[in-house]
Structure 1
Amino acid sequence: MATRILPAAGDADAVRSITTLLSQLPDAEPLAPVVDSTQLLDALARLAAESVDELPEVVVVHERIGPVPALELIRDVALRFPAAGVVLVTSDPGPGLFQAAMDYGARGLVALPLGYEELASRVQAVAQWSAGVRRHLGSGGDVFTGAGGTVVTVSGAKGGVGATLIAVQLALAAQASGRSTVLLDMDLQTGDVASFLDVQFRRSVADLAAINDISPRVLADAVFRHDSGLALLLAPGEGERGEEVTDRAARQIVAALRSRYEVVVVDCGAQLGGAGAAVVEVADTALLVTTPDVVAVRGAKRAVRMWDRLQIRKAEETTVVVNRHTRSAEIQPPLIRRITGTALAATAVPANFKELQAAVDAGRVHELDAKGAVKQALWALAGELGLAGAPESDRKGHGRLRGDRGSVSLRRRRDGGG
């Protein structure tokens, strides 16, 4: 099936450039271009009046569209026609504009001058996202369906094993690779993401719990933009408010996030309630962090067995990450894999608290030394998980997740779940 693409640009040269490249894309069906914001909204309204399926899968908006500024126009399109994915074409593809475009509802950004490969890649990704949204809309699902983003949960075998640090660094690595990324703190009573990144915040995940229709604007109001460019949806400052986040609310919130971001990293903490369990269940990849000591490994085994009993996730669909690893430790990763029956991340994170202490104490874990062994391992882990490009020196031997059944299985839902 051809991908329908509607270009919107304010001058003739931009229109020619965009339509020429779009016409070369495989299975693409460029529609007649529109030259201003009014024409674009009117055209989409006419098509939507017939049915959602009549909308183009992709809308390509040039930065010089008018009279409504491009970002405001993108916000209007995202709010009124959420099944159409928007790609912004801009001469300023820096992180500031990238984050602003994502906040306003864009699904991708392409730099000027236009290149075939970049345009083709973004259009294909947005078209796939749009197709997923429409499938769910057609079956009565919510607008936010999770077709576009990858969800990775990070849980601790017990408190203090380093799950939050790993979640933060995975999110930063994904963000640095050019993927729109949000970090969700679902450790609802004792979440420390805000402390690790030294942020003061007003809104939290609890503010979304009672909202049945999480619109892009409502979501944007709850998300905190960190100096690093990372989007944060934080645990409530008052731990008792965590009870407001039910398992149903958690599913809705994650679905909304994965419809707006390419990568959703969730810190689930070590105490798994109903909301956290719901997120682990629907995740594409569920990580369980342990340290190589008897107490933590026993905790990992208990967690895996509990998830299996509650039909949250099978052992072989869970991936253990070994943190604070040393070659001299009596308990080595292969033994942990056998004890837990899980897959095992090929990347073990070395023990080096000295490298971390200053950054953790200052709440600046986003400023870890790039040459440090811990950060290199964590970013290699992100590459192993497909969240980011791993450093060249780390790619050999880290091609997949080790486990009794080979590479890690992705999402599994029980009947009626998620």
Structure 2
Amino acid sequence: MPTRILPAVGDADAVRSITTLLSQLPDAEPVAPVTDSTQLIDTLAHLAAESVDELPEVVVVHERIGPVPALELIREVALRFPAVGVILVTSDASPGLFQAAMDYGARGLVALPLSYEELAVRVQAVAQWSAGVRRHLGGALEVFTGVGGTVVTVSGAKGGVGTTLVAVQLALAAQASGRSTALLDMDLQTGDLASYLDVQFRRSVADLATISDISPRVLADAVFRHDSGLALLLAPGEGERGEEVTDRAARQIVGALRSRYEVVVVDCGAQLSGAGAAVVEMADTALLVTTPDVVAVRGAKRAVRMWDRLQIRKAEETTVVVNRHTRGTEIQPPLIQKITGTALTATAVPAAYKELQGAVDAGRLHELDAKSTVKQALWTLAGELGLVNAPAPDRRAGRASFRKRKEGGG
């Protein structure tokens, strides 16, 4: 059976040289190359959704792939598609990089300039490893391999716009619909999800920052299981410990959560750290919360421009949520969309602080009244974002209707 090989190469010249060599390998079946990290993950996810057997045995990652760095990309592939073997192609064949690549989940390393013999040996070894893993896991492979959970980041245009409220309610809506959901506090210096959800905790995201391999058991030890069913991974109680969470650690932590939960909601706060930027970059959906006032909208515009300059997120890839909306305010959502150049959610969250005050003061945001217009709007927003499962049809009502028609001769 031919070995399917997927090259992930951002450099045009490198694409030609690598695909030419791969096509010459015995029993090799190179597939169309992908040119960036996002395209690679999307391609693998699409193939896995069709069938696990559709996944390539080998992925070849070039050192200059982007925007996610090569080693971080290898880590994500290894976490989400564990039966796919990854080979790193690099000009640095030092023992240090080799060890780092292995630590991140690579199955091999090939030095530049490429040698046919070295590439052939490495591809064959990795393909055999991949085939062995698939035989060993057999029918259980589908349990461990999948498209991964959906990651949604919630950032604030400035402090006090309701970022945590939005993050909490989106996560609660997803959990209530039957989807396993994690809520991560990446507002590392000032995050206070614990106070809003009335929990006492010992472990935090900082405790995972120095762990190179986050196993399910290690992750479970750090996560707090809330009464609502949410899995909480909280910001450190001591703000200075937030500096321990690097962008590399953040990617690894979110990757571990994504591999275990269907939905991961991340509260990034209003001050974007390097770790927060890394998470926004890898998110499936990046929300930016603003209120309809001049100061907040200017803050939203600054944030969008900064993300674009730093190549974290393009404006059109960012979605603005308008909180505390009223029909009488001069600044309406379409104007905010025009000013920021972003996408805009169809759902705006109404200004109704009196509904929130009791739950906020009690630190019981998860007990917000179901009749609250704020809660209803945010749960509608969760549906708009695809975070909730569609309700199952009421089969009892269907059977009752059938009996009624039968008894009536209809």
Q: TM above 0.5, one fold? A: yes
User: Residues 51 and 340 of structure 1: is their aligned pair in 2 closer, same or farther, counting only changes over 3 Å?
Assistant: same
1:57, 1:366 → 2: CA distance? 41
SS at match of 2:376: helix
Deviations 1:130-185 (A, max 9, x none): 1x5xxxxxxxxxxxxxx310000000000000000100000000001111100000
User: Residues 58 and 289 of structure 1: is their aligned pair in 2 closer, same or farther, counting only changes over 3 Å?
Assistant: farther
**TM-score for the superposition, normalised by structure 1:** 0.62
Is 1:159 the counterpart of 2:240? The answer is no
2:220, 2:335 → 1: CA distance? 44
Alignment of 1:133-212 (within 5 A): 147-212=147-212
Compare 365-374 and 348-357 and name the one that shifted more. 365-374
What residue in structure 2 maps to residue 306 of structure 1?
306
Alignment partner of 1:51 out of 118, 132, 135 = 132
Alignment of 1:10-409 (within 5 A): 51-56=132-137, 58-59=139-140, 84-86=141-143, 130=145, 132=146, 147-389=147-389
User: Residues 226 and 27 of structure 1: is their aligned pair in 2 closer, same or farther, counting only changes over 3 Å?
Assistant: closer
Q: 1:188 Cα shift? A: 0.1
8 Å Cα contact 2:185/2:267 also seen in 1: yes
Deviations 1:361-383 (A, max 9, x none): 10111011111100000000000
What residue in structure 1 maps to residue 98 of structure 2?
none
User: Residues 391 and 245 of structure 1: is their aligned pair in 2 closer, same or farther, counting only changes over 3 Å?
Assistant: same
User: Residues 57 and 175 of structure 1: is their aligned pair in 2 closer, same or farther, counting only changes over 3 Å?
Assistant: farther
What residue in structure 2 maps to residue 141 of structure 1?
none
2:285, 2:246 → 1: CA distance? 21
Q: 1:52 Cα shift? A: 1.5
8 Å Cα contact 1:154/1:288 also seen in 2: yes
Q: 1:50 Cα shift? A: 6.7
Which amino acid is the alignment partner of residue 280 of structure 1? V
SS at match of 1:370: coil
Which amino acid is the alignment partner of residue 308 of structure 2? D
Greater than 2 Å deviation, 4+ residue runs: 26-29, 47-50, 55-59, 389-392
User: Residues 269 and 166 of structure 1: is their aligned pair in 2 closer, same or farther, counting only changes over 3 Å?
Assistant: same
SS at match of 1:358: helix
User: Residues 57 and 328 of structure 1: is their aligned pair in 2 closer, same or farther, counting only changes over 3 Å?
Assistant: farther
User: Residues 391 and 160 of structure 1: is their aligned pair in 2 closer, same or farther, counting only changes over 3 Å?
Assistant: farther
8 Å Cα contact 2:179/2:389 also seen in 1: no
What residue in structure 2 maps to residue 21 of structure 1?
none
1:222, 1:242 → 2: CA distance? 15
8 Å Cα contact 1:48/1:54 also seen in 2: no
Q: 1:49 Cα shift? A: 10
8 Å Cα contact 2:326/2:351 also seen in 1: yes
Which runs of 5 or more structure 1 residues have no equivalent in the other structure?
A: 1-25, 30-46, 60-83, 87-128, 133-146, 393-418
SS at match of 1:381: helix
8 Å Cα contact 1:196/1:363 also seen in 2: yes
> Which protein is richer in helix relative to its size?
2
8 Å Cα contact 1:48/1:55 also seen in 2: no
1:53, 1:169 → 2: CA distance? 39
What residue in structure 2 maps to residue 144 of structure 1?
none
User: Residues 289 and 391 of structure 1: is their aligned pair in 2 closer, same or farther, counting only changes over 3 Å?
Assistant: farther
2:158, 2:391 → 1: CA distance? 30
Which amino acid is the alignment partner of residue 350 of structure 1? P
SS at match of 2:279: helix
User: Residues 303 and 50 of structure 1: is their aligned pair in 2 closer, same or farther, counting only changes over 3 Å?
Assistant: closer
SS at match of 1:51: helix
1:389, 1:50 → 2: CA distance? 35
1:373, 1:335 → 2: CA distance? 23
Report the RMSD for the aligned CA atoms in angstroms: 2.3
In the comparison of the two structures, how many residue pairs are matched? 270
8 Å Cα contact 1:228/1:366 also seen in 2: yes
Which runs of 5 or more structure 2 residues have no equivalent in the other structure?
A: 1-49, 54-127, 393-410
SS at match of 1:265: strand
1:351, 1:27 → 2: CA distance? 46
Q: 1:192 Cα shift? A: 1.4
8 Å Cα contact 1:380/1:390 also seen in 2: no
SS at match of 2:266: strand
For the pair shown, which has the larger CA radius of gyration, 1 or 2?
2
1:27, 1:255 → 2: CA distance? 22
2:325, 2:254 → 1: CA distance? 32
Q: 1:330 Cα shift? A: 0.5
8 Å Cα contact 2:52/2:142 also seen in 1: no
Q: 1:391 Cα shift? A: 8.9
What residue in structure 1 maps to residue 112 of structure 2?
none
SS at match of 1:354: helix
User: Residues 350 and 53 of structure 1: is their aligned pair in 2 closer, same or farther, counting only changes over 3 Å?
Assistant: same
